[in-house]
Chains A and B, each alone.
Chain A
């Protein structure tokens, strides 16, 4: 195992003034007045509108595509077929090594379709109506192929092959093995065996669908992409080689993005098709996804099946670890996968001191919509497994779930805590958080209510979800799934600038989608420069031409508070150094004698000797002759800074190392009431206690906590993406995909118990994704409500009917849960 190197951050500043305050958001003004600019708001002269023709089948050969009738319609500018895409582009680079990396992945279906909704052809026309009408005239002949929709079945060698090049449907396979789980299983007082658990498919469905206007300018070769893609440089890494263009030809731009949650990361396939259509027609190509297309044709969250789980437990409640087989259903293409196959290991033992861990992980392709990173990506699936294990151990061996957790949580004095696979949990206090979460709902009151409810036809259950939100990934972890990937560390870039008349501005590499970066950045920069956040203009949105970036710039994986803020802080520090250099020269002082207050640099103790930022800017921009040459040559008031997270390269052989820098934690407590007759579940009370280091803006942090909590509750009770036997998605609209509405969600009771991170510039940790704590808390509460029935919650999705079946002892709902066994020594 590699030794994890720890660099602690040396804070340059004393406790700042704006950071830590819940100041109102800078973004709000325009968004509240309907003045935001979202991707569908972008209109260009001469632009055409695109409609995609999509596969009605889960798996079929494309025998013929005939676009002639569509092309004959007046007002249709161009069409594009999969075969043309094959001729015009190279297949996308795959993150996966062999065999998954052998899959041929293009912007549209080539040769065959692999999921219902896969784009087969596209039409560009003068209006959206016409594009859609003409698309209906595209004739596609299919020859159906047998399909496979379930990961365990798909992994079987006898199953239909989705990508013949791969040799099987298993795109990646790896075994994570730490400690000695077999030894632990032999030595344990009890071994709990759980045959099967299933984490379902769902999506956080941002309210704004994917949209873009792509213009391939024939004169300059610039491919202007106005879109809501949430990770443009990542998209460029795939698009540039596929299109055979320079990466700096791809000019991304966005202002406001209507939510993304990770799901707008893989839209590069559509952007590629739009680029081709634009080049073909010599016009900008606009596409705004319909909700139905978003549900069938963008991406879903990962579905995962866990088999043959074995848990060694000591008589005193010490859980030694666990062993499990995980089959991740990635849908029809690998694309972002098998990154999920390593990202889960950032939180391998969850919040616990487990020492012996073995996970056999397979990424399996199926004839379903491809997956993409969905809020809590790959960690929430794994953390759900860990929390189910803890709850089921408690239930089977009659431990109190609170005490069992406390017995096994990493202890406050153990931080920074190194996990068996070399990850370092920076700080935390799970014990205190659990106590606080129970206190917020007044748990004893609910225990009494639970007793009182017996025999009334209602059942009350109290559940706990303890999760981690690992943030600031070490991209070196990609080497664990593909040792040839030349990635490691993590960084983010920002530009801080003082303009002609002393105005401060910041441009970020991040691409926010509601995470309040304009506000929190202004707070941090204002503190460095001694001004108010109102005086710091943070440029909204992304712009390849204007903003600084690194390859993995973007807003994802709970990292902004570390990487984005680190970059802005560094850039502001450099600007500050310039201000001091100029002021020292002009005021005949030294930088260490100077103070920055209220947009002025003055000599400490002699405030009359002062220069405003405007005056300093004038020296730099317009009055250089008045500065000593060595000063004039040294200062720019315009700095790009790259924050570098302190990472090394993880060891791909042992699959271990420091994979993420920070570990925010969430302890949620949920109280449910089940109506016995119907299985209908109501949330009676809910508390969410979070820890994410030093909050920059507590109100913003709390808002993220609310959002993540609602997503988890929604998934646990209402939202699921299911297919019928024919491979047709059954939840293709918001009529069938039951997004939670305002009356469906509780008033969350929240608190935050900060444990500043020793590893980050401000003591903050990335947060926002959450670890899916509500999924665990709801399942755990249901389990508690069902405690005397013998029913086991084995699925992450529990709509009324499943709860009803669990209550009625139905085997179909139990899904193997009844096969839980305990062997005691």
Chain B
């Protein structure tokens, strides 16, 4: 399929990129292009200008802050992210999830920033970023600002980025002692189209005996609804409770709050909601077990 007429530009610096985005009302950031080019072929987006940021070195770094926060450049490809030693060490579940996104060709081109900014409800990163309380760094004509992942997603394919703003980095806070992450998805086939996703960040406090460990903190986010959503009721039920399968299963019954998934050719909303509960439970159990392991 063919693209519509468009102008392509490849700025040399982030400043130039921001300027290019600000200069043209209908400009769009092109990074890996693994979704944007499809959207263009289908003519469901209509930019006049594509601003290619995929080669900006500034957007391709992984750095660790003194407090352990990882600064991930938005133009890092999935491959680079999954293979990065720091990411693998500090956030092994994130690295593992990234290493399984779509397929090797897409992982070679697709970028973290592209995944984050597209706002595709089925994307891998949004629920993870919300659960991990990531912050997104945007640079625009007015300067740089940080946006909490939880506030970033407004509606399907709509984010809090203002026109002219470029996502430059994703900040992943460090995992504290006792914290574990679980990420579960239900997909068509082995790992095709996602129907429901859940990511959990859980802090476990060891108890005095077998089965007495408790959950001290929990953040659970669901994906595949219009936007990724936290699950406060489920989190509240988890916190202070035992880190056992039974207790987690009981709490997971409360998952699905504000999830509001679509009904489409892939699944009904009812099924997606039921599956989100299953994924939420499995994600918490997996977060607890990876911690134990």
- Set of chain A residues within 8 Å of B193, measured between Cβ atoms: 735-736, 738
Interface secondary structure of A, over-half rule: loop
Closest 9 CB pairs of A and B: A730-B265, A743-B190, A744-B189, A801-B271, A677-B278, A290-B1, A738-B188, A801-B267, A744-B190
Once bound together, how far apart are the Cα atoms of A730 and B267, in whole Å? 12
Contact mask B273-293 → A, CB, 8 Å, 1/0? 011001000000000000000
> Which residues between 789 and 825 of chain A lie within 8 Å of chain B, taking CB atoms?
799-801, 804-805
**B254 within 8 Å of A (CB atoms):** no
Closest partner residue, chain A, to B191 (CB atom):
A743
Q: A129-B2, A801-B271 are in contact. Are A731 and B265 (CB under 8 A)?
A: yes
**A5 within 8 Å of B (CB atoms):** no
Decide if A740 touches B189 in the complex (CB within 8 Å).
yes
Q: A128-B2, A292-B1, A677-B278 are in contact. Are A799 and B188 (CB under 8 A)?
A: yes
Closest partner residue, chain A, to B103 (CB atom):
A741
Decide if B186 touches A680 in the complex (CB within 8 Å).
yes
Closest partner residue, chain B, to A740 (CB atom):
B189
Beyond A718-B192, A735-B193, A800-B186, 16 extra complex contacts between A and B, CB < 8 Å: A129-B5, A132-B2, A292-B42, A678-B275, A718-B189, A730-B265, A738-B188, A740-B189, A741-B103, A743-B189, A744-B189, A744-B190, A801-B267, A801-B271, A804-B271, A805-B271
- Set of chain A residues within 8 Å of B5, measured between Cβ atoms: 129, 133
Decide if A738 touches B192 in the complex (CB within 8 Å).
yes
Once bound together, how far apart are the Cα atoms of A338 and B25, in whole Å? 56
Decide if A718 touches B186 in the complex (CB within 8 Å).
no
Instruction: Jot down 15 A-B pairs with beta carbons below 8 A, ordered by A.
Output: A129-B5, A678-B275, A678-B278, A717-B189, A718-B189, A730-B264, A730-B265, A731-B265, A735-B193, A736-B193, A736-B266, A738-B189, A741-B192, A743-B189, A800-B188
The CB with the most chain A CB atoms within 10 A, among B38, B189, B271, B274, is that of B189
A333 to chain B, nearest CB (A): 24
Residues of B within 8 A of A (CB): 1-2, 4-5, 38, 42, 103, 186, 188-193, 195, 264-268, 271, 274-275, 278
- Set of chain B residues within 8 Å of A741, measured between Cβ atoms: 103, 189-190, 192
Once bound together, how far apart are the Cα atoms of A261 and B254, in whole Å? 48
Once bound together, how far apart are the Cα atoms of A738 and B191, in whole Å? 11
Contact mask A550-594 → B, CB, 8 Å, 1/0? 000000000000000000000000000000000000000000000
Once bound together, how far apart are the Cα atoms of A805 and B267, in whole Å? 12
Once bound together, how far apart are the Cα atoms of A375 and B81, in whole Å? 43
Once bound together, how far apart are the Cα atoms of A801 and B195, in whole Å? 10
The CB with the most chain A CB atoms within 10 A, among B195, B265, B267, is that of B265
- Set of chain A residues within 8 Å of B266, measured between Cβ atoms: 736
Once bound together, how far apart are the Cα atoms of A768 and B208, in whole Å? 65
- Set of chain A residues within 8 Å of B264, measured between Cβ atoms: 730
- Set of chain B residues within 8 Å of A740, measured between Cβ atoms: 189
B214 to chain A, nearest CB (A): 25
Once bound together, how far apart are the Cα atoms of A129 and B3, in whole Å? 8
- Set of chain A residues within 8 Å of B42, measured between Cβ atoms: 292, 733
Once bound together, how far apart are the Cα atoms of A291 and B41, in whole Å? 12
**A722 within 8 Å of B (CB atoms):** yes
Contact mask A632-670 → B, CB, 8 Å, 1/0? 000000000000000000000000000000000000000
- Set of chain B residues within 8 Å of A735, measured between Cβ atoms: 38, 193
Closest partner residue, chain B, to A679 (CB atom):
B271
Once bound together, how far apart are the Cα atoms of A593 and B271, in whole Å? 78
- Set of chain A residues within 8 Å of B268, measured between Cβ atoms: 801
Contact mask A716-760 → B, CB, 8 Å, 1/0? 011000101000001101011010110110000000000000000
Once bound together, how far apart are the Cα atoms of A743 and B188, in whole Å? 12
Once bound together, how far apart are the Cα atoms of A522 and B267, in whole Å? 50
B262 to chain A, nearest CB (A): 12
A513 to chain B, nearest CB (A): 23
- Set of chain A residues within 8 Å of B189, measured between Cβ atoms: 717-718, 738, 740-741, 743-744
- Set of chain B residues within 8 Å of A291, measured between Cβ atoms: 1
B266 to chain A, nearest CB (A): 7
- Set of chain B residues within 8 Å of A718, measured between Cβ atoms: 188-189, 192
- Set of chain A residues within 8 Å of B191, measured between Cβ atoms: 743
Once bound together, how far apart are the Cα atoms of A132 and B274, in whole Å? 43
Residue from A678, A680, A722, A804 within 8 A of B265 (CB atoms): A722
- Set of chain A residues within 8 Å of B275, measured between Cβ atoms: 678
- Set of chain B residues within 8 Å of A801, measured between Cβ atoms: 267-268, 271
Once bound together, how far apart are the Cα atoms of A677 and B38, in whole Å? 34
B2 to chain A, nearest CB (A): 5
- Set of chain A residues within 8 Å of B195, measured between Cβ atoms: 800
A297 to chain B, nearest CB (A): 14
Closest partner residue, chain A, to B271 (CB atom):
A801
Once bound together, how far apart are the Cα atoms of A290 and B3, in whole Å? 13
Once bound together, how far apart are the Cα atoms of A741 and B106, in whole Å? 15
Closest partner residue, chain A, to B190 (CB atom):
A743
Closest partner residue, chain A, to B43 (CB atom):
A136
The CB with the most chain B CB atoms within 10 A, among A678, A722, A740, is that of A678
Decide if B186 touches A678 in the complex (CB within 8 Å).
yes
Closest partner residue, chain A, to B278 (CB atom):
A677
Once bound together, how far apart are the Cα atoms of A184 and B275, in whole Å? 47
Closest partner residue, chain A, to B3 (CB atom):
A129
> Which residues between 99 and 139 of chain A lie within 8 Å of chain B, taking CB atoms?
128-129, 132-133
Once bound together, how far apart are the Cα atoms of A418 and B109, in whole Å? 60
B280 to chain A, nearest CB (A): 12
Closest partner residue, chain B, to A132 (CB atom):
B2
Once bound together, how far apart are the Cα atoms of A36 and B193, in whole Å? 33
Once bound together, how far apart are the Cα atoms of A740 and B274, in whole Å? 25
Once bound together, how far apart are the Cα atoms of A680 and B195, in whole Å? 12
A48 to chain B, nearest CB (A): 15
Closest partner residue, chain A, to B266 (CB atom):
A736
Closest partner residue, chain A, to B188 (CB atom):
A738
Once bound together, how far apart are the Cα atoms of A731 and B264, in whole Å? 10
> Which residues between 460 and 495 of chain A lie within 8 Å of chain B, taking CB atoms?
none
Once bound together, how far apart are the Cα atoms of A736 and B266, in whole Å? 8
B243 to chain A, nearest CB (A): 20
A806 to chain B, nearest CB (A): 12
Closest partner residue, chain A, to B279 (CB atom):
A678
Contact mask A291-333 → B, CB, 8 Å, 1/0? 1100000000000000000000000000000000000000000
A564 to chain B, nearest CB (A): 36
- Set of chain B residues within 8 Å of A805, measured between Cβ atoms: 271
Once bound together, how far apart are the Cα atoms of A804 and B274, in whole Å? 10
- Set of chain A residues within 8 Å of B2, measured between Cβ atoms: 128-129, 132
Once bound together, how far apart are the Cα atoms of A592 and B21, in whole Å? 87
Once bound together, how far apart are the Cα atoms of A128 and B2, in whole Å? 8
B146 to chain A, nearest CB (A): 33
Closest partner residue, chain A, to B267 (CB atom):
A801
B6 to chain A, nearest CB (A): 11
Once bound together, how far apart are the Cα atoms of A607 and B266, in whole Å? 72
Once bound together, how far apart are the Cα atoms of A156 and B38, in whole Å? 41
- Set of chain A residues within 8 Å of B1, measured between Cβ atoms: 290-292
Closest partner residue, chain B, to A736 (CB atom):
B265
Once bound together, how far apart are the Cα atoms of A671 and B267, in whole Å? 25
Once bound together, how far apart are the Cα atoms of A211 and B266, in whole Å? 30
> Which residues between 322 and 363 of chain A lie within 8 Å of chain B, taking CB atoms?
none
Once bound together, how far apart are the Cα atoms of A799 and B193, in whole Å? 12
Contact mask A279-291 → B, CB, 8 Å, 1/0? 0000000000011
A633 to chain B, nearest CB (A): 60
> Which residues between 369 and 388 of chain A lie within 8 Å of chain B, taking CB atoms?
none
Once bound together, how far apart are the Cα atoms of A717 and B195, in whole Å? 15
Closest partner residue, chain A, to B189 (CB atom):
A744
- Set of chain A residues within 8 Å of B192, measured between Cβ atoms: 718, 738, 741, 744
The CB with the most chain B CB atoms within 10 A, among A128, A722, A735, A800, is that of A800
Closest partner residue, chain B, to A129 (CB atom):
B2
- Set of chain B residues within 8 Å of A677, measured between Cβ atoms: 278
- Set of chain A residues within 8 Å of B267, measured between Cβ atoms: 800-801
Closest partner residue, chain A, to B272 (CB atom):
A801
Once bound together, how far apart are the Cα atoms of A731 and B278, in whole Å? 27
Once bound together, how far apart are the Cα atoms of A733 and B278, in whole Å? 29
Once bound together, how far apart are the Cα atoms of A17 and B188, in whole Å? 47
